[in-house]
């Protein structure tokens, strides 16, 4: 599973605060996703669902 963040990201940091093992804030001021480690899918989905601009996708 992989989490991606699209161009709608406003850099609020909510995803990183919710699931720092998957999301991080880049030097460009927006969030970036990565592969989702074993056991972290639920938190990654919580971060996706909490995104105020629906910028996060989770795919296999």
Give the mean pLDDT of 6-18.
Answer: 98
Dump pLDDT digits (tens) for 22-53: 999 999 999 999 999 999 999 999 999 999 99
Residue 35: what pLDDT? 98
Residue 5: what pLDDT? 98
Longest dimension (CA), the chain: 29
Please report the domains of the chain, with CATH numbers, ordered by start residue. 2-59 (3.30.70.20)
Residue 54: what pLDDT? 98
Residue 36: what pLDDT? 98
Residue 57: what pLDDT? 98
């Amino acid at each position: 599973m992989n989490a991606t963040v699209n161009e709608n990201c406003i850099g609020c940091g909510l995803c990183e605060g919710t699931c720092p093992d998957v999301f991080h804030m880049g030097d460009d001021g927006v969030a970036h996703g990565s592969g989702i480690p074993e056991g972290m899918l639920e938190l990654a989905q919580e971060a996706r669902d909490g995104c105020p601009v629906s910028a996060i996708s989770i795919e296999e």
